[in-house]
Amino acid sequence: MLRIREGGLWTTVQDTGRQGYYHLGLPPSGAADKYSFIIGNLLLGNPVEYAGLEMTLLGPVIEFGKKTIIALTGAPVQAFLNNRLLPMWEAVAVDEGDVLSFRFCKKGVKSYLCVSGGIQVPEVLGSRSTYVLSRLGGYEGRKLVVGDELMIGEPLPGAFKQIGKHVPVEFIPAWDDAKDLRVVMGVSGNRISDEGIKTFLDSEWIVSAESDRVAYRYMGSSISFEEHAPPFGAGSSSSNVVDFAYPIGALMVPNEGEVIVLLNDATSGGGFVTIGTVISTDLDLIAQSRPMSRCRFLTITVDQAMQARMERKKQLIRLDETLKEQG
């Protein structure tokens, strides 16, 4: 059991997401930075979809109710097990009664805590992920607060052999302040002018403070629209289209001065023009970017997007093999 002594800023139970309910408006949810999250489970020898904790900027204070193995990944953060500094990207043993606490993370946004056997909240529609807006899944559909008690699985057979296994530095993400985000252009982009598309790609964009698991907002440049009449039923603002289902990663342009990228807790549809879609692997980078940090959007083809996806997959397979060879 994990006893929550302090909830931290925004801590939720997440796994790899909830599939198949988007037609009801239910977004996938799941870990915002899947790469870091999956590595947490690989370190423990857990199946990759086992539920862990996603911690935002300031983690919780947790007391462990039994002896087990944990791994801390994602945004670099100072964490203390009792009073000892806890290494990140490494499988570590904890004893009953140990207390884990955190300082504010200084780079990135989301850190992950995985536990051998996973966190055992009930599955809702096939997933343990928390979707706070509809109070579904996770721990009572909400972020953790003081007094919560989360069941955890039994340490898996062989779990204690994982102790000391660690991720080589080449697999650990760089926590740069400026990101390049790859985009497949298109979807409902026809209302944006050629000039607007050029500006979008040539500009540096700044992350706004109004950003979370639902969507990230960006400011810093101005995208011009075509002058033609809006389609019937869309609404008469230049950014308005007939409402449609947005892909996760869709880049909405609600007005000339703002772009919004939808993340895992996305509102599933709406009526703003979209200029393109950020590829699935780069959503992790968005979720780890802090307010006021910078990014650029780079256009790629769907074939290049597939290539990026397969490279990521191969990297995780290589890491898994490396971990198996350790110890």
Partner 1 sequence: MFTLPETRFDFGGDEYIYAEISRDMSAESNFKALAIVNELRERNIPGIVDIVPSNASYLVRYNPEILSPRDLLDYLKEIDITKSDPAELNLSIRMVEIPTWYDDPVSRQYSERFKNRHQEPTLSNFEFAMKANGFTDKEAFIEAHSRMPNLITMVGFLPGTAWGFPLGLEPGEIIQTPKYLSPRTHTPRQGVGIGGAFTVVYPVNGTGSYQLIGMSAVPVYDADKRLIDLEDTYFLARPGDLWKHRPIDEREYNQIVAEVEQGTYRYHMKQIDFSPQEYVIKGKAYIQELMEGF
126 in contact with partner 1 (CB under 8 A): no
228 in contact with partner 1 (CB under 8 A): no
CB 32 within 8 A of CB 266: no
Pairing of strands 294-299, 178-185: parallel
- For the window 295-314, what string marks contact with partner 1 as x by the rule CB under 8 A? -------x--xx-xxx--x-
Token pair, residue 243, equals 């409402």
How far is the C-alpha of 89 from the C-alpha of 319, rounded, in Å?
12
How far is the C-alpha of 272 from the C-alpha of 251, rounded, in Å?
10
Q: Return the number of the residue (257 or 327) whose C-beta is nearest partner 1.
A: 257
How far is the C-alpha of 101 from the C-alpha of 307, rounded, in Å?
39
How far is the C-alpha of 147 from the C-alpha of 4, rounded, in Å?
5
Q: Return the number of the residue (90 or 226) whose C-beta is nearest partner 1.
A: 226
Least separation in angstroms between residue 204's CB and partner 1 is 20
CB 282 within 8 A of CB 200: no
Count the neighbouring beta carbons within 10 Å of the beta carbon of residue 69: 24
**One of 199, 224, 280, 322 touching partner 1 (CB under 8 A):** 280
Least separation in angstroms between residue 227's CB and partner 1 is 16
**One of 237, 317, 324, 327 touching partner 1 (CB under 8 A):** 237
Least separation in angstroms between residue 313's CB and partner 1 is 7
**One of 234, 263, 285, 319 touching partner 1 (CB under 8 A):** 234
Count the neighbouring beta carbons within 10 Å of the beta carbon of residue 204: 12
Q: Return the number of the residue (75 or 248) whose C-beta is nearest partner 1.
A: 248
Interacting residues toward partner 1 by CB under 8 A: 19-26, 133-136, 141, 183-184, 186-188, 190, 210, 214-215, 231-237, 239-250, 254-255, 258, 260, 267-272, 277-280, 302, 305-306, 308-310, 313
